[in-house]
Amino acid sequence: MGFVFKMNFNKPLLIVVSAPSGAGKSTLCNKLLAESERLVYSISCTTRKPRGQEQDGVAYHFLTEEEFVARIENGDFLENAIVHGNRYGTLRSTVEQALKQGKSIIMDIDVAGAAQVRDIINALPEDNLIRDSFIDIFITVPSIEELEARLNKRGEDAPDVIQKRLNNAKGEIARANEYQHIVVNDELERAYSELCKILEEASK
């Protein structure tokens, strides 16, 4: 049965979701987005060049290096990082705009980015809109062995890349207790149901 935000949510949420590669985070988040009219995906800023037919404001907000650094210095980002030589980050204004429109917004970020968001949010006044709406969720797997099996089954990566992903996953899972909620994706529908219940409860 689908979970519809507009039926059950009394307030919009800022939903930070993290997971090791292969845990099913994208599948769960995409399912939420497909079934929830009042939920949007956070569009990040980046300094990398647009690829193919990418348009500004759709996949990413494209900024120059100078623009991005100026935004950092101005305190505009909830989180930012350098990945493969390019800068990526989430603007506070993006989140605030969605929340003010009564929409919940998903930030799909890694554990380091989530820690940045927590630090900034904890420094905000208690009645701040972003702080009041914040919830973070870590999606994980029953075991590292299960994760390895999923990555091998996916068939997208070479063995050395899979090993790197597994090593990264161990470090990420070790930080799962930093999150308010942990969802074990042992079976997709069960995990999705648990995720929906967490969000519905948080919105009361």
pLDDT tens track, the chain, 204 positions: 444 444 466 799 999 999 998 899 999 999 999 988 889 999 999 999 998 888 999 889 999 999 999 999 999 999 999 988 999 999 999 999 999 999 999 999 999 999 999 999 999 999 999 999 999 999 999 999 999 998 898 877 888 989 988 999 999 999 999 999 999 999 999 999 999 999 999 998
Does domain 5-42+103-202 bear CATH number 1.10.150.20?
Answer: no
- Hey, where are the domains in the chain? 5-42+103-202
User: In angstroms, rounded to a whole number, what is the distance separating the alpha carbons of residues 59 and 41?
Assistant: 10
Q: Residue 117's pLDDT is what?
A: 97
User: In angstroms, rounded to a whole number, what is the distance separating the alpha carbons of residues 167 and 191?
Assistant: 24
Q: pTM here?
A: 0.89
Q: Residue 4's pLDDT is what?
A: 42
Q: Residue 100's pLDDT is what?
A: 96
User: In angstroms, rounded to a whole number, what is the distance separating the alpha carbons of residues 48 and 62?
Assistant: 7
